[in-house]
Every structure is written in C-alpha cells, then in structure tokens.
Structure 1
Amino acid sequence: MLKIYNTLARQKQEFTPIEAGKVRMYVCGLTVYDYFHIGNARTLTVFDMVYRWLSASGYAVHYVRNITDVDDKIIDRANKNGEPIEALTARMISAMHEDTDRLGMLRPSAEPRATQHIGGMLKLIDRLVDKGMAYPADNGDVYYAVREFPGYGKLSGKSIDDLRAGERIAVNTAKRDPLDFVLWKAAKPHEPFWPSSYGQGRPGWHIECSAMCEAEHGETLDIHGGGWDLQFPHHEGEIAQSEGASGKPFVNYWMHAAFLNMDNEKMSKSLGNVFTTREVLNKLDAVQGGEVVRYFLLRGHYRSEINYTWDTLQDARASLLSLYNALREVPPAELAIDWSSPYAQRFRDAMDDDFNTPMAFAVLHELRGEVNRTRSAELAGLLRALGATVGLLGQDPASFVQGATGTADDAAEIEALIAQRNAAKQARNFAEADRIRDAIKARGIVLEDGAGGTSWRRA
C-alpha cells in the first residue's frame, strides 16, 4: 500500500485515490522568463519520478503541470529585451522542453498555460465575489478577503494573527485588510491586459492554478505538488480560492519537495550561486550528463534538502556508472518485473514508503553486486527494469559508459588503436602495446581488459 507524506496532515497517509485506479495530479510548473535553475530541476524531476512510479504501480495518471506565461518577471524581462511577451515565452517554453528532455522527463498529460485560461479565472473570481469572499477595490483590482475563509493558514501552519501589516504583509490602502491578496490586477501602461467586468487587467498569481486545476481535474484532486517554498503564500491562496468557491476539499494529498542548496548555502542571486540547469548539463558529458543530473537529484529523499557541488555531482556520476558497468558486463535479458522477487519486493516497499528513493537506490546497488557475482542476465534485466520505473538505466550500457567521444570517426579511431595494441601484445611487443595504451589514455580514455576482450570508456 502506497503511503504519501501529506503536508496538510503532517504525517504519512495511505493513498486512496478519488476514483479507483486513476490519479488526478497537479504540479506547479515554471514561470517562463528565463532558463530554469537547478533548484527548479529538483522539483520537476521529483514529480516526474512520482508520475512514473504511480504509472508503474498500475494507476492511470492524469498529470498536469502548468506554465505561467504572464507575470511581472515575464513583463519586465520582455521589456528589457525589447521583444513581445509571446516571443519570450515561446522561446523559454521551447528551451524548457529541451532541458526537461535531457533530464529524461516524460511530458505531462497536459501543460496548460495561464493565458489560455483567463476566462476560467474570471468565472472563478465572479463566484468568489458573489459569495462575499472577494471584492472589487477602488483602484480597479479585485482582492480575496482572507478573513472570510476560516481555514486560511491550515497548510503552512501560519496564524492569521501572526501575519499583521508591517510584519510580513505590505500595507495597501485599497485593501479592506492588509492580509487580502489580489485576484485581478487593473491594467497598467505597457502591460498586457484582458477585458473583464471589473475592467481591463490581468490575473494575480494564485488564481491561475485554482482555475487550471478545476479545468483539468474538477473541484477536488488527489495530489498537488510543488516546491517547499510554495506552501505559503501560493498553495495557501489556492486552497482559499478553490475551497471558498466550491465548499469542497480542494486537494487530498499535498506534496512538497525540499530545497537544493549550493555548496551548503541556499541559492541566492545576491550570493551569485544560482546556476541554470542548462549550465550544469553543458558542463557534463553529452551522453551521460542528463541521467547523471537526474540520478543526483533523486538519490536524496524528496523531503530532504540536498547539496549541489561539483564533487557531489561527480560522486553521483560514479555511482550511476557502476550500475551501467554491471549492465555492460552482463547484457540484460528483456523481461517484465517479477514483483515476487526479493529485490523487486524491497524496491517496491521503499518506493511505496513515501517514494523513498535512497532505500530504492540501495536495492539497485545490492542487485548490481549480485549481477557482478552471478553474471545472471535475468538479474541484470531486473536491475534495468527496476531502474526504468524511476527513469534510469534506459540507455545502451556500452555507449553510456564510453560517453560522448565526439564524432563516429573518433570512436572508430579508438577501436583501431585498441586493435593495434592487441596486435602488439600478441606479437609480444609490449613496449609498443604500452605506448599505444598511453596514447589512448592521453585522449581521456580508460581501457579495461577482461576475459571477453578490451572495452573502453571515458575517464
């Protein structure tokens, strides 16, 4: 039985979907004004893993990950670039897909964009206004009346009385209460806008997810995920809006991924330690890099902070290479997972315990040791199949271990040098064999002599 740590309940709970065999899952996606950073990659990769495991467990998952394609950062960046907002967001969405593909992520079932759901947002705002839970202000904005929703703060554990003006909430004289948040922003010069009964304007941040959740899943969904920092105010705002409008529970299981730190410090532009995912990927081998980063992002439990340094990334690379080396040495049999196998059982038990990837990965490495010992193609096949449930070990083992060697001619040249070395050894010309070995080593290639001949990989 799958158990999920529910942020709202503050404990692990057995997962029971609204509809048997089906899962309605929504994850807050990216604001597409720039390349996404490695901290974003952690959250996106975590929920790709959740999507894959739920699917591997037999659920039909409708996985929705939204795209915010209008907000202050997008407007500012487009104005700075001197380009239309649509051109900026189209370019960044394309780049997002390129980088998530490199990380081995499956495309979500749906990727709704905020600008495609303005009508749904306005209908939701109308319902809240009609129920007295929102109000148009004199400045043309529409605000949510936080004190009209008794459950505000239940997700993050914050008390309304602790959120007073002058402490954490900026004073805005147009609001009835300083805690109230904007649902609809009145149009300003040089900003995009849409017509509405409240005047020309654009949506606030929180309302977009409530509207898109309802459009894709209805009034209640099974799982809602995002980064740890979204609990307040974003997810708190979503609950207030959606439950305020429907009177029904909005989400049954809330999941939040913890932060990724940079060299033991929180990522911060002021510290200059924010790296885009693309920058990190481009520093790594073209063949191995995407899966190395994925392995690194998943090997820590999703609710625990992880620390990014070049050394921790290289350690993840070495660990992943050890799995691929086992598959290279023992070609895996193609097989379906036999869940009665002790290894498969322990892997499933780990994943069903709130997606405990550290324990699941430990099982993979135990299985690797057994593959190396027994040379069993069936166990190698099980290793590969279990890895596939979380998006790992899907590449050709020999190609992965060898890595990117430039052109096909480069690989052919290495193979030719190995053949020359083997010929020199057979002729007992060991000095020449050593010279060729050193020349190959100078190209960053490691040779591995075994009973089946000589194989090679990048250092």
Structure 2
Amino acid sequence: MHAWPASEVPALPGKGRDLQIHDTATQGTITLAPGPVARIYVCGITPYDATHIGHAATYNAFDLVQRVWLDTKRQVIYVQNVTDVDDPLLERALRDNQDWTELAERETALFREDMTALRMLPPQHYIGAVEAIPGIVPLVERLRDAGAAYELDGDVYFSVESDPNFGKVSNLDAEAMRLLSAERGGDPDRVGKKNPLDPMLWMAARPGEPSWDGGSLGRGRPGWHIECVAIALDHLGMTFDIQGGGSDLAFPHHEMGASHAQVLTGEFPMAKAYVHAGMVALHGEKMSKSKGNLVFVSALRRAGVDPAAIRLALLSHHYRADWEWTDEVLAEAVARLERWRAAVSRPDGIPADDLVEEVREALSNDLNAPAALAAVDRWVERQLVTDGDDESAPGLVSRTVDALLGVAL
C-alpha cells in the first residue's frame, strides 16, 4: 500500500531541541533522545469514513513529532497501518450494499488526499492489515505454541495473564478495563474465555465474511491488536521511540499490543513512550463515526476552506487536550492565516532569529503548539506596525512556520 507525497521541509539555521513528551505509561514527561534514527508507530484509520477533524488532530500531533525530530537533524522512520478489514468496515459495506474492498480503497484514497492537503508528512511504511496477514499468522502460532494463547470454538485468544507487565500502559484497574473492552470492540462477556479481558488474535471464518489461509490456525482473519504488532515489529523492532494514537487507543489497543509484543520477544517495553492525542467534540459530544457527529476535512476543502487554516485550527489546541470544533475556531484560524500571510508578504521586516528559537522551545516542550502560535502572533503584530529593515526576516518566518508547524504561507 502506498502513502501520499511528502511536502518539502525547509532547513532552518541551527539545530532543534530534543523532545520532551508526556508518556501515558508513566503519567509524566520524559525526554526522548534517539540516536541518529528516531522510530515512531502511529495507528491508522479503519477506512469506512475518512477523514474527520478528530483524525486530523491526531495525525497533526504526530506530524509535529516528526518535524521536531527532523529539525534535530535526525532521520525518522514513521510507520502507519490501515485497518482495511474489520467489523465496522464490513458492517458499513453491508449497510450501504457496497463491496467492502471498494469501500476501503475509496476511503483510504480520500484519506491520502486529505493528508496531502494538510501537509502531513507521510509514513515511510504504510501497511494495510490485509497485506500484513502473512506476517501475522506466524506470530499467532508462536503465541499459541508458547502457551500464551488458546483456542475457543475455532477462535484464538491471547491470555493477558501471560504478560507480567500487562496493565502498565493504561494503568487502569480490572473493572475499568472490562468496561472499556466492551465499549471498544472487545467481548469480555463471552463464555469460555480464561479471562474476560483476553483479546482475540485470530477469528475463525464466519459465513459471508472475508477470510484468509491461517495455516495451522485455519481460515479466518486477524484480531485488531496483533495487526499493529506484526507491522511494528517488522519495520521498527522493539523499544521504538513512540507508539502514538488517539487517547481512546490507550486501552485496549495499545495495552494489548504491548503485551503481545512483550510476550513474543521477551523484551520490555514495546515503546519508550506511549503518546495519546485528545478527543475532538462537536455539539458537546466526542466526534465519532458511531454517533455521526462528524466534520470532514474533505467537506471543508470542498467548501473552499484553505487547508492551512484547518491546520492552524488544529494547532490552536494542545494535542493532549479534549476540545470542541466550532465555527468560531475555524474563523479564528482563517483570520490568523490572513494576518500571517500579510506579515510575511512585506519585502523586509523585523528580525526573526529569536522567533525560530521560541517556536523550537515551545514544540520541544510536549508539543506546545498554542505557545508556538502565540510566538508567531507576537512577531506578526510587531511586523505589521513596524518598519523593519531585515530583508531575510519574512522568508525566515515563512520557512520556520512551514518546517516546524507544517503551514505554508
């Protein structure tokens, strides 16, 4: 599966700072100082509707991570999956009387278009769950043969009790886990499971549903969590720098994935930092496909909204915050974009060297994009009322905003 084209990232004078980021597992801020190559895995879409503002906010957060690392002159290996076979996708295809593969391909293509328009840097490895199945089957067989998985009516489940570190990502108690498991795709009430929290590794073929050859597992399709594990281990190995996604993935997805990988490899942890973006609401409720209260990036673009304004709207909120999308949020972003473009369109200006360092400092401090925007706002306000004589300043500001915030002026 191919990703989307990369926009050029301008080089800035000097060098960026190491990233301090909030780690869900330790509930504290840690400093990530990778070697010459930084490694990040971000969970991708299930392509039955793409791309709403909640998606865009999540991918914007991890785009900032890439930009901070690139500014430190590191290479970045970024991996993202597409869950291109799953119950919600199949249910939507059945509801709309569509072929599920055509639905997945169409929505994935639209996602690519939206990411390109928003200038999100693409992953080097963009992998669909279906194409990963040949690598998933041996992992499930290994877990089963090691006694860390068991069969139930043809399905294969992972035993969470096989991992002594289970629970160290989300730090939730058993009752909270059980409630979230039921809410987020698990089946804690299924009779015969050793532990209600045990997640499915391999689902035996169901009538009328797609299935693949699973070797000794029989025909079927993979569970949700093992897909990302197989892709991450194949392209990043263990103890990569960041496992990222929305805050609703901390449990069960990232918790279960970490346990799968840790049992498979005998290493801990799967990732140095578990980083989660907040949820975006609309009309007082979390934006979600199940509720249908969605604002789509593609719809905004069709309505003539500049993608740079959409990106500024996302950047105006800290990535870990839960916030609400409103017409006012977008209007403020449109106005900010106009001011910024007016300021850098002048032939000369006030010095901007300090601004570069202010933006770097803000982003290195747990991706504090609102502080970075405020720094640019201050320069813009002075620029619009001051006769400067630095001919290089407007260009430096444009390159800084592009390189570090992904906004093209």
TM-score bracket, normalised by the shorter chain, equals 0.7 to 0.9
- 1:30 partner amino acid: I
C-alpha displacement at 1:3, in angstroms?
A: 1.0
Unaligned runs of 5+ in 2: 1-17
| Corresponding position of 2:263 | 244
Q: Is it true that 1:279 corresponds to 2:299 in the alignment? A: yes
Contact 2:316–2:369 at 8 Å: present in 1 too?
yes
**What count of residue pairs does the alignment treat as equivalent?**
384
Q: Is it true that 1:211 corresponds to 2:227 in the alignment? A: no
Question: Residue 313 of structure 2: which of 296, 317, 321 is its match?
Answer: 296
Contact 2:177–2:251 at 8 Å: present in 1 too?
no
Contact 1:99–1:278 at 8 Å: present in 2 too?
yes
Q: Distance in 2 between matches of 1:167 and 1:369?
A: 49
TM-score, length-scaled by structure 1: 0.79
| Corresponding position of 1:374 | 387
C-alpha displacement at 1:237, in angstroms?
A: 0.7
Q: Distance in 1 between matches of 2:54 and 2:101?
A: 25
Contact 1:257–1:302 at 8 Å: present in 2 too?
yes
Q: Distance in 2 between matches of 1:33 and 1:346?
A: 40
The within-5 A match list for 1:40-119 is 40-119=55-134
Q: Distance in 2 between matches of 1:73 and 1:37?
A: 16
Contact 2:188–2:198 at 8 Å: present in 1 too?
no
Q: Is it true that 1:192 corresponds to 2:206 in the alignment? A: no
| Corresponding position of 1:266 | 286
Contact 1:105–1:391 at 8 Å: present in 2 too?
no
- 2:295 partner amino acid: F
Post-superposition CA distance 1:271-324 (Å, at most 9, x none): 653222222332343xxx211011110121111122211111101111121111
The within-5 A match list for 1:224-235 is 224-235=243-254
Q: Distance in 1 between matches of 2:247 and 2:380?
A: 33
| Corresponding position of 2:166 | 152
- 1:208 partner amino acid: E
| Identical aligned residues as a percent | 34
- 2:174 partner amino acid: I
Contact 2:200–2:223 at 8 Å: present in 1 too?
yes
C-alpha displacement at 1:385, in angstroms?
A: 1.6
C-alpha displacement at 1:241, in angstroms?
A: 0.4
TM-score, length-scaled by structure 2: 0.88
Question: Residue 349 of structure 1: which of 340, 361, 373 is its match?
Answer: 361
SS of the residue corresponding to residue 377 of structure 1 reads coil
With over 3 angstroms needed to count, the CA separation of the structure-2 counterparts of 1:239 and 1:270, relative to structure 1, is: closer
| Corresponding position of 1:311 | 328
Q: Distance in 2 between matches of 1:61 and 1:167?
A: 33
Q: Distance in 2 between matches of 1:166 and 1:42?
A: 22
Contact 2:136–2:222 at 8 Å: present in 1 too?
yes
Which structure would you say has the larger RCO, counting Cα contacts within 8 Å and 6 or more residues apart?
2
| Corresponding position of 2:7 | none
Q: Distance in 1 between matches of 2:246 and 2:259?
A: 19
With over 3 angstroms needed to count, the CA separation of the structure-2 counterparts of 1:273 and 1:324, relative to structure 1, is: same
With over 3 angstroms needed to count, the CA separation of the structure-2 counterparts of 1:278 and 1:178, relative to structure 1, is: same
With over 3 angstroms needed to count, the CA separation of the structure-2 counterparts of 1:309 and 1:164, relative to structure 1, is: closer
- Which structure has the bigger radius of gyration? 1
C-alpha displacement at 1:247, in angstroms?
A: 1.2
| Corresponding position of 1:423 | none
| Corresponding position of 1:436 | none
Contact 2:82–2:126 at 8 Å: present in 1 too?
yes
Q: Distance in 2 between matches of 1:167 and 1:83?
A: 29
| Corresponding position of 2:155 | 141
SS of the residue corresponding to residue 92 of structure 2 reads helix
More divergent stretch after superposition (264-273 vs 97-106)? 264-273
Unaligned runs of 5+ in 1: 396-459
| Corresponding position of 1:359 | 371
Q: Distance in 2 between matches of 1:382 and 1:227?
A: 33
- 1:329 partner amino acid: R
Q: Distance in 2 between matches of 1:125 and 1:75?
A: 23
SS of the residue corresponding to residue 45 of structure 2 reads strand
SS of the residue corresponding to residue 46 of structure 1 reads helix
Q: Distance in 1 between matches of 2:380 and 2:179?
A: 57
Contact 1:227–1:258 at 8 Å: present in 2 too?
yes
- 1:98 partner amino acid: E
C-alpha displacement at 1:15, in angstroms?
A: 0.9
Q: Distance in 1 between matches of 2:177 and 2:406?
A: 44
Contact 2:181–2:252 at 8 Å: present in 1 too?
no
- 1:318 partner amino acid: A
Q: Distance in 2 between matches of 1:167 and 1:66?
A: 21
With over 3 angstroms needed to count, the CA separation of the structure-2 counterparts of 1:114 and 1:331, relative to structure 1, is: farther
Q: Distance in 1 between matches of 2:83 and 2:369?
A: 29
What value does the CA root-mean-square deviation take over the aligned residues? 2.3
| Corresponding position of 1:30 | 45
Q: Distance in 2 between matches of 1:164 and 1:91?
A: 34
SS of the residue corresponding to residue 86 of structure 1 reads helix
C-alpha displacement at 1:364, in angstroms?
A: 1.0
Q: Distance in 2 between matches of 1:265 and 1:164?
A: 23
C-alpha displacement at 1:153, in angstroms?
A: 1.6
SS of the residue corresponding to residue 329 of structure 1 reads coil
C-alpha displacement at 1:270, in angstroms?
A: 7.3
- 1:366 partner amino acid: R
